[in-house]
Structure 1
Amino acid sequence: MKAPNVFLLLLITVFSIFQSAQSQDESGFISLDCGLIPINTTYVERSTNITYISDVSYIDSGVARRINKTLFTQFQQQTWELRSFPEGQRNCYNFNLTKNSKYLIRGTFLYGNYDDLNQLPSFDLYIGATKWTSVSIQRVASASIHEIIHVLTQDRLQVCLVKTGETTPFISSLELRPLNNNSYVTQSGSLMLVSRVYFPPTDPTPSFIRYDKDIHDRMWAPYSDDKTMSLSTNLPVDTNNLYNVPQLAMKTVLIPINASQTLNLGWTLNDISAQSHIYMHFAEIQNFQANEIREFDITYNGGLRWFSFFRPEKLSLTTIFNPRAVSSSNGKFNFSFAMTGNSTLPPLINALEIYKVLDFLQLETDQNEVSAMMNIKNTYGLSRKISWQGDVCAPLFYRWEGLNCSYPDSDPPFVISLNLTASELTGTITPEIFKLTKLRELDLSKNDLSGEIPAFFADMKLLTFINLSGNPKLNRTVPGSLQQRIESKSLTLLL
C-alpha cells in the first residue's frame, strides 16, 4: 500500500529553531548551557522559564566559545555559548545519577560560525561506550538536535563527543529530563527520537510545544498536510496517564478532509534494519449527535493489524503503542486509520511519537573499576591526560592511555594493566589501586611519590609485576607480606 502523502517528518537533526536546557531542580531536570562560565553562573531563559547552569562541573576539557552575535536574536540564550573540543579524540560529560533510572537526554548543536572558519563540523555522539548518533551540521544558522530515552545501566552517565574527521566537535546545550520508568518501555535498548508531532490548525501559525506546557520538556512539532484537517476544543482533556501528553496537543485532532476516506500517515527510516516503537495518543474532543459513533481500525504496511474497533474516550487520553519493536523491510511505515462499519464519524489522532531502537551491545567497564580509576585520576590531578575521557576500557579503540583491559564475552571489561610512568604523580600511593581487583601489572615509575610501599599489594592476588623505581622520596622498606610474595616468585617488585 502506498501512502498518499508521505508524513513529512521533522527530523530532529534539522530543526532550525531555538532550544533550551534545564538545571537540576525540584523536577530533577539537569540543563547545561555548555560553555557558560564561570561555574556558579545561572540564568532563566525567558520564553520557557527554564534555569540554565554552567557545564563546568560536569566536564574537565574543552574551550568555551560564543557564536556570531548577529544570531543572538534568532535563538534562545542557551545556544549563544558552546563548548568546543579542539584536543583529544573523545571528550565526555560525567553525571552521577541512579542506576536503572530513565532519562530523556537531549543534545543541541548550533555552530553559528563561532570559530570564523565557516567549516561545518561533523562528529559522533556516544552514551558511555556505545555510539548514539552522528552529528552533521548542515547550516551555520541551524540547530541540530538529538534526543534519546535511555535507562542508566550504572550510577554514572557519560555523554561523549568523538572526533571523526578534520572538524572540531562542539556542543551548545545538554539536557537531562527524568521520566517515569514505566513509560516508554522496551524489550531492549534505548529509544532515539525520530519524530514527535501534534496536529494544530495552521491558522494562526502553530508553534512548537515544550516546557512548561509539557512537564517532561518533550518537544512537539506541528504537522499538517493537504489531505487532512485539524479540529480543536477549549475544554480540558484528562491527560493523567504515564505519558502526560500536554494539553495543547490533546486539544487538537487530525482527521481526513473527506470524512469517508481513510486517514493515512507514513514515514521512512534511513536505517532499513531499524526496529521502531510508535506511540499514538488519542482523545475524543467532539460532542456527538444522537446515533453518532466514532470507531476505527488501525493497520500498517498493507493491512497488518495494529488495533481494531477503537473508540477514543471523551476528553481523556488513551495511548496505544507496540510492546514489541516492529520493523519494515524497506524502512517505510504506512499507517491507515479506517472507519469500521459501525462508525459514522471519521478516524482521528491527537499526537504521535516515533522512535528508533538503539541497542547497547558494548558493555561498559565494571562500575567499581570505573569509580577506582576516576578516584585515581582525581587524586593525582590527571585531568590533563586528554585520553582519560569516557568509559575506562570501552570501546577498545578509545580505552584510556596507559591501560590494558580484558573483555570477557558476557561480563563487563576490567583493567589488567596500569602504566603511569613519568606522569608527575606526587603524594602517597593511593589505596584506590587496591580496588582494581583484576590488576596484573602496575607501573608507577619515574614519578615523585612518597610515603610507604602499601601492604595491600600483597593482597592483590592477580598482581604479578610492580615497578616503583625512579621515586626518590618513596620509603623502600618492603612490607613483610609483600616480601613473602616476592620470595615465592608470585610477584616481581622493582625499586
Structure 2
Amino acid sequence: MFILNTTQSSYHLLLIKFFTNTSMTTPLSFLLIIAISLLLFSKPSLTIFVSINCGSSRSFIDENNIKWVGDDDYIKNGVSQQVYLGSSPLSTLRYFPTRKKNCYSIKVPKGEKVLARASFYYGNYDNKLSPPIFDLQFDGNYWASVNTSSYYYVNYEAVYVTKGNFTSICVAQTKPKQFPLISSLEVRSLDPTMYSHVDSNHALILQWRYAFGGNKTIRYPDDIFDRIWTPAYGILLSEVKSEETSFDISTSEDHPPQDALQNAVVSSSTSEYIQFINRLPQEELPIYINAYFSEVMESAFGKRSIQMYIDNKPFSSPIVPPLGSVKEVYITNITASANTTFILQASDTSTFPPLLNALEVYTISDAFNVGTNSKDVEGLLQLQLAFEVLVDWSGDPCLPYPYNWDWIQCTSDSKPRVIALYLSGYELQGTLPDFSSMTSLETIDLHNNTIEGPILDFLGLLPNLKTLNLSYNRFNGSIPASLVNNKNIEIDTTNNCLLGMKCQPLKDSRSNQPPPPQFNSGDDPNIIGGFVGNGSVKNNKLLILFLVATQTLLPMIFLKFI
C-alpha cells in the first residue's frame, strides 16, 4: 500500500555544531560539553525491554543492537524446534502439543504501559505443510486468532497497561491436532503519556503502522520504543523527502521517530486527495488512529492546509503541517469497518496539495476480564507453593474462558470460581496445604500421589464439596470429625497410612498416567539470584511466590504473603 528512509539521528549534528561554537579554554566549558553530550546521546530509561528467542537456549545481538535471549528461563513446557530457511530469531520455535494454553510470564512494574509483540513462523517445521491456527492471549484476555503461514512470518502487537507485577502472554489450542507455536516474544515499556486517549481497561491492537515515502523499515534504535514502521508508498502519489534534517518531536504525545518524518506522500494537485486503503475487518469495531504531519518544503510552510474526512464528513479543524516538527492527529471514540472511508484533501484556503508522513491504526479491545476470584487464586497459590510440579502453570487460572489450567475446572462467570481440582497422578509430594479459601470447590481428586501428613480439618468444612478422593497417598493420623460427620461428601481414603490401616507401598499405577508437568529447567533454589536477565525468573521458594501471586493480577495476595 504505502513506504520510508532511515537517516542518522540529528543528535550528531547538534553536537558537532556545539563543538564548533564553544570555547574549550575553561573547565566549566568542558563540563558543560560533557553534560550536553550525555543529554543528547543518552536514551530514555525504559523499564522493560525484553526480547525472547523462543525455542532457543542461546543469546545473540541482532543488527539493530537488540539483545535476544533464549526462553529457557521463561517456560519449560513445549518442544523446541529448528526451522530451516528461517533467520534469527525466526530460526527456532517452540510448539505445544500438551495443555489447553501455555504462557510466558514476564516481570513488569504494576501499571506499566507496554508494547507486546509476538511473532510466528511455521516454516513447515513438521514437514506436514499444515500451518496451525490458534489463539493468542494476554493477562487472561483474548488478543487475536493467529493464522500462521507456511512461507511467511506473522506478528501481532498490542499496547496495554499491566494490572500486576507480571504480564503473561499465552498461546491456546483451538483446533484438534493444530498445536500452537511461537517464534519470538518482545515486551517494551512505553512512556505513560503515550496512547492516552483510551482508558487503561482496554488494549490497542495494532492493525498497521506505516511510514510513507521512504524505502526502509524503522525500528530500534531509531524508534527508542521499538515500534516497527513499515515503509509504504501511495498509488498515484508522489514520494517526497523533507528539506529539514532534524525535527522537534516534543510536540507529539506519542513520540514518532524522526526518521518517520523525513519523508511523505503527497498528491499531485490541490484537486486530488489521499485516501487510506482500508484493511479493517468487515464488522464495525472501535478504532484508534494516529496520523502524523510534518511540512517537507519551506516554501509551503503555512500555505498547506489539509482537511480530513471520515465517511465524507469533516473530522477536526484543518491541519497545517509544521516545519521542523510534527502535528499529530488522533482519531478515537468512533467505530469503523472495511467500508469506512478516510480521506485527506486540500482545504479551501490551501495552495499546496495534501501530504501524509506516517500513520498508525489500531482497534480497541473489549474491556479486560476482571480475573479469577481472588479467594481461588489464593488457594491455588498455596498449592503451587506446596507442590513444585504445579508452578509451571502460569497466567490467569480460568481466563479467558474456556482456557483454564488443565487440572482445574472453572465456572463461566465473568469473575469465575474454581469448582474442581483434578490432581490425580501428578506426583505431588509433601504435606497438603490449607486452601480453605476455595469455598466453591465441589470436587477434589488427589488420589495416586505421595501426599503425607494429616488430613486437614478444613476439607470437611468446604460448603459445596461433594467428592473427595484421597486414596493411594501417605496421609496419616485419623479422619477429622468435620469429614466423618459431613454426610454430603463422598470420601475415599483407601490405601493410606491412617490409624487402623496397614501402610502399604503405593501401587505402581502411575505408569499409566500422563506425564506430570516438569519444573522449569535451571530453577535451582537461589534466594540471592533473584531475577535475571531482562525480567526472566529464577524459581525458588521466594520467587515462586512472586510469580504466582503477581501474574494473576492480585497484588493484595502478594502483599499478604511477603
Instruction: Give the aligned CA root-mean-square deviation in angstroms.
Output: 3.1
Please tell me the residue identity of whatever aligns with 2:77.
Answer: S
Pairwise CA distance, 1:493: 6.3
Please tell me the residue identity of whatever aligns with 2:106.
Answer: F
- Is 1:365 paired with 2:372? yes
- Is 1:403 paired with 2:408? yes
Pairwise CA distance, 1:143: 1.3
Q: Distance in 1 between matches of 2:290 and 2:225?
A: 16
- Is 1:182 paired with 2:193? yes
Q: Distance in 1 between matches of 2:295 and 2:382?
A: 56
Residues 117 and 400 of structure 1, relative CA distance in 2, 3 Å threshold? same
Tell which structure's C-alpha radius of gyration is larger.
2
In structure 1, what is the equivalent of residue 61 of structure 2?
44
SS of equivalent to 2:259: helix
Pairwise CA distance, 1:172: 0.8
Residues 368 and 215 of structure 1, relative CA distance in 2, 3 Å threshold? farther
In structure 1, what is the equivalent of residue 101 of structure 2?
90
In structure 2, what is the equivalent of residue 430 of structure 1?
433
Pairwise CA distance, 1:44: 1.1
Please tell me the residue identity of whatever aligns with 1:419.
Answer: Y
SS of equivalent to 1:180: coil
SS of equivalent to 2:73: helix
Q: Distance in 1 between matches of 2:296 and 2:257?
A: 15
Residues 193 and 299 of structure 1, relative CA distance in 2, 3 Å threshold? same
Residues 29 and 235 of structure 1, relative CA distance in 2, 3 Å threshold? same
Q: Distance in 1 between matches of 2:368 and 2:287?
A: 17
In structure 2, what is the equivalent of residue 12 of structure 1?
none
CA distances 1:268-293 after superposition (whole Å, capped 9, x unpaired): 3233222221111122343237x962
- Is 1:32 paired with 2:32? no
Q: Give the unaligned 5+ runs of structure 2.
A: 4-44, 494-562
In structure 2, what is the equivalent of residue 483 of structure 1?
481
Q: Distance in 2 between matches of 1:261 and 1:233?
A: 23
Q: 2:74 aligns with which of 41, 58, 65?
A: 58
Pairwise CA distance, 1:195: 1.0
In structure 1, what is the equivalent of residue 310 of structure 2?
300
Residues 200 and 249 in structure 1, CA contact (< 8 A), matched pair in contact too: no
Aligned ranges for residues 335-414 of structure 1 at < 5 Å? 335-360=342-367, 363-366=370-373, 369-370=376-377, 372-373=379-380, 376-377=383-384, 379-383=386-390, 390-408=395-413, 412-414=415-417
- Is 1:200 paired with 2:205? no
Pairwise CA distance, 1:415: 1.4
Pairwise CA distance, 1:310: 2.1
Q: Distance in 2 between matches of 1:248 and 1:138?
A: 31
In structure 1, what is the equivalent of residue 329 of structure 2?
320
Pairwise CA distance, 1:430: 2.1
Residues 31 and 174 in structure 1, CA contact (< 8 A), matched pair in contact too: yes
SS of equivalent to 1:288: helix
Aligned ranges for residues 247-258 of structure 1 at < 5 Å? 247-258=258-269
Q: Distance in 1 between matches of 2:492 and 2:148?
A: 52
Q: TM-score, normalised by structure 1?
A: 0.80
Residues 94 and 158 in structure 1, CA contact (< 8 A), matched pair in contact too: yes
Please tell me the residue identity of whatever aligns with 1:183.
Answer: M
Number of residue-to-residue matches in the alignment: 448
Q: 2:339 aligns with which of 323, 332, 335?
A: 332
Q: Distance in 2 between matches of 1:493 and 1:272?
A: 52
SS of equivalent to 2:303: coil
- Is 1:127 paired with 2:138? yes
Q: Distance in 2 between matches of 1:346 and 1:83?
A: 50
SS of equivalent to 1:222: strand
Pairwise CA distance, 1:251: 2.0
Q: TM-score, normalised by structure 2?
A: 0.71
Pairwise CA distance, 1:66: 0.9
Q: Distance in 1 between matches of 2:403 and 2:229?
A: 36
% identity of equivalent residues: 26
- Is 1:449 paired with 2:451? yes
Q: Distance in 2 between matches of 1:179 and 1:371?
A: 31
Residues 457 and 463 in structure 1, CA contact (< 8 A), matched pair in contact too: no
SS of equivalent to 1:359: coil
SS of equivalent to 1:181: coil
SS of equivalent to 2:89: helix
Q: Distance in 2 between matches of 1:318 and 1:292?
A: 13
Q: Distance in 2 between matches of 1:489 and 1:166?
A: 43
Q: Give the unaligned 5+ runs of structure 1.
A: 1-6, 10-24
Residues 486 and 493 in structure 1, CA contact (< 8 A), matched pair in contact too: no
Q: Distance in 1 between matches of 2:131 and 2:468?
A: 47
SS of equivalent to 1:450: strand
